[in-house]
Amino acid sequence: MTKPIRVIVVEDNELLLDELLFQLNAQGFWVRGVGDGPSLEIALADSPADILVLDINLPGEDGFSLARRLHDPAKFGIIMLTARDAIDDKLHALEGGADLYLVKPVDRRELAASIRAVYRRLPFAEPSNEADWRLLRECRLLVAPDRRELALTPTELKVLEWLLVDQGSMRSRQELLLLLGIDGLVGADGRANTRMSRLRQKLSDFDQSLQLLSWRNQGYSYVGPPLRVE
């Protein structure tokens, strides 16, 4: 049996920290919570972690500094979870050691899917014990481990395959516009947003583990279970 993913949440708002710990524990993670950088150092010395979930606005050393100083993919992945939604903050975090940047409030399913997606990319990650999800090109079907099937349109299949080129990583909005053949057209951004919103809802209605993330004015990521394209 695969061991639980070990998570440390660094959040100085005690009520929010308690809620995050409750949600993540309920979804099968081995999770601990601390309120600042020194407490994080103590927790890591006591027992390793696979994923750190860092707030930015912390007392003393902030999340940017912690991510930059502690960044080591051989030890753990880092997810920023913050109320700060400015693109400059996001870029600063991603360029400074964070693997993913989430903005509060975040749906518990999105957070859990993000943790699993980042964990899968780490060099020490154990193979998933999830049964295979399959994406069948020829018949345009998404097949669940329990053999349920979701029919996809040609465009939905094209977009999902595009997202799966590097599962969990952000694909740019500009690439999507080119993929859909609408780059430069009037209302292209709105049309792309509509396509992605419909696909996101369709996947979620089929199975809540199938998650698409939108990065405001930047791009999109697929962070659900691994899909094998056939």
The verdict on residue 39 lying in a domain is yes
Claim to verify: residue 22 and residue 88 sit in the same structural domain = yes
Claim to verify: residue 188 and residue 116 sit in the same structural domain = no
Q: Which range of residues forms the domain containing residue 105?
A: 6-120
Claim to verify: residue 92 and residue 14 sit in the same structural domain = yes
Claim to verify: residue 169 and residue 222 sit in the same structural domain = yes
Pick the last residue of a domain from 120, 143, 176.
Answer: 120
Q: Which of 70, 60, 61, 58 is CA-nearest to residue 96?
A: 70
Strand pairing report for 171-172 and 219-222: antiparallel
The verdict on residue 181 lying in a domain is yes
Q: What is the mean pLDDT of residues 116-139?
A: 78
> Sign of the C-alpha dihedral, residues 157, 159, 162, 167?
negative
10 or 106: whose pLDDT is higher? 10
DSSP class of residue 72 equals B
Structural domain total, the chain: 2
pLDDT digits (tens, 9 = 90+) for 129-176: 455 788 888 899 998 887 889 999 999 999 999 888 876 677 888 888
CATH of the domain at 215: 1.10.10.10
Six-digit token pair at 85?
A: 């939604």
The verdict on residue 10 lying in a domain is yes
What mean pLDDT value characterizes the chain?
86
Q: What is the pLDDT of residue 1?
A: 37
Alpha helix stretches (DSSP H) within 27-121: 37-46, 63-70, 87-95, 108-120
As a whole-number percent, the residues of the chain with pLDDT over 90 amount to 41
Claim to verify: residue 82 and residue 160 sit in the same structural domain = no
Q: What's the rounded Cα separation, in Å, for the pair 107 and 100? A: 15
Q: What's the rounded Cα separation, in Å, for the pair 180 and 195? A: 10
As a whole-number percent, the residues of the chain with pLDDT over 70 amount to 94
Claim to verify: residue 106 and residue 193 sit in the same structural domain = no
